Amino acid sequence: MQENIFKIRRAFLIPLWAMVVLFFALFVQSLFIGQLWEIIVSAIFFAVLLAIAIEASERAIIMTEDKLKIKKFFRQKEFDWEKVTNLGIVELGKKVYFLISAARGLYFFSNMTERHSELLGLLVKKIDEERVEPQVREYMERPVERLSLIVMSYVAALVIAAIIIMKFLQV
């Protein structure tokens, strides 16, 4: 049985994990040469960012011939193709969210998923035509890549690195 696995784009995960490491370094640095509020703030940012990074790394959409699995951290939803009631789309500029309605809930993924247009094409093939909204087919003709969030993530990692360097040099 062939499985197609789609995860969050690595181009986003790399700077996200870099920020986790940098915030940990900032936290350790604050333990030695920081004030109490710096220790608390850096620990909170590190913990929150670590949780987000773990969740983003574990998130996956797995498609097989007879089932769709949506895997998140410590959770996995699995349902047959007959249980899918609707496939829709919400476009907010370069942010695009794909909505899957099923008998047991509403699930979504964004265009930050790797190969999201391929995933969408496979979903459209598996779901009956009357359950796929026309906007989904229109989107498939002109898919949108979301690069601004990736660029902002790299910029944020550079800013955190600069803060660590300035704090180390006591600027």
Phi then psi for residue 90, to 5 deg, are: -130, 120
What's the confidence (pLDDT) of residue 139? 83
Gap between the Cα atoms of 43 and 164, Å rounded: 14
Instruction: State the pTM of this model.
Output: 0.81
At 171, the pLDDT band (50, 70, 90 cuts) reads: low
Which pLDDT score is estimated for 17? 95
Number of domains in the chain: 1
Radius of gyration for the chain, computed over Cα atoms and rounded to the nearest angstrom: 20
3-class DSSP assignment, residue 99: strand
- The residue range of the domain holding 73 is 4-169
61-118: pLDDT as tens digits = 888 888 888 888 888 888 887 888 888 888 888 888 888 888 778 888 888 888 888 8
User: Binning pLDDT at 50, 70 and 90, where does residue 16 land?
Assistant: very high
Burial class, 164, CB count within 10 angstroms (exposed 0-12 / middle 13-18 / buried 19+): middle
| CA 87 to the chain's CA centroid | 19
pLDDT reported for residue 50: 95
